[in-house]
Structure 1
């Protein structure tokens, strides 16, 4: 067991619409809403160690969400190596992807013999407690385009999915947005929840990839977190015949068929919708 290494992948998750639902029990808390998973994400290796150290892209970091998830699963010290090919603080669920891939890897490395529900539950509770996300871990657990119908940890909340191909998603990020600062603003929470309920209702009427993008853009507009550049980029994609919205919660625009419109705003990144959820590799 001493030399055993666990390795797992968790996809990025872009939330397009969400409704905050916080309860005393973090496993019953989280958000309702809808988001998409990407083939880009987090790959994490975990091995036994003399002390717990977390490295992200080779740099030692505090990574509170990953640290909390580990603490919920074992008292044993481990070395965690996470490689992220998504930006942090830009609405891709980097904290959740790091925590979920670390929890899955940890289960294998230490032969904890836990189920997916237990492992993903720890990552979800760590996210909610640290206020780094609410529904990302649930989306990442199942992959694809997950509709979260009832808040809670994976396998405790209620989910559905919008059938989707591995459609290409392009994005451009500008600045970071602190998830914590938005989630702790009571007035902003009310605005988000009012808009979220309205847009999710519209999405249920026509659960397609295209309508998800349309309702997400309307949600982003309703909650007024768009920077001028985000607004301009979304409009440019629309004018070019594509669909775009703001990644929640990030100063980031993601698009389908942007037809080159995002290029004028800076470096454009591309990935595809991943219908595979988090898994060992």
Structure 2
């Protein structure tokens, strides 16, 4: 696989005057057919929280609601703030973090409009470290057409990439090419951790439920103490994360897939790119996306470039 030469330097950004065109998908906006309720522990806070997913009106999009203060935080790129090891949304002093797995499932399952109520804290439950629990719960209740306050449906639009665009930082990058459908290719490289090494995976969204959603997060054993000293991963355990040692390999096998770490990075990417959605429209750009050694902050940088183009 050959990639274009990027501008050199610590951080280079490429954008075009009009890389996105919003176009009809031929579908109508959907919401949940019934309430969903799941509880668990937050990865970083260690707090026990409950999330209720509630049906919502067409055009409302996906919005987090913190039960403590009734604060509302729309799941859009404008509310994203850079934090280590997770995706965090913040609006008017209210914060919700570790939203990426839930948003990944909602985007893939085409739950376009949804109120996400968090009780007991400000972090989404981490469940088993994948999006499997969310996908199964959504599948159990199903989806249905969403209607606005006048009883009307709304057509679902999608952002279609019409020109190549990329962001890069060092040797990490995300590049997107125009394509007739969504296809995502993801690569990671951990040369100091032989059990992980260099991995690649490539999927269309049709494969999400079977090939992507159950891929769990992972961490390097030798880095755990440092992360905890920074107040992170208080709720992390071998029950919700794969742990790999640079010398001993995987400490809690078996893996669900040979390249499960790479697939999980792709799961995260889908969740973060869903933040391009608004007003019940699709978030993932229709394009062939290639991400290499990319993390949450680079995902957000990529969306901020695309977000310069208004839907109006």
Larger radius of gyration: 2
Larger helix fraction of residues: 1
TM-score, scaled relative to structure 1: 0.25
TM-score, scaled relative to structure 2: 0.23
Larger strand fraction of residues: 2
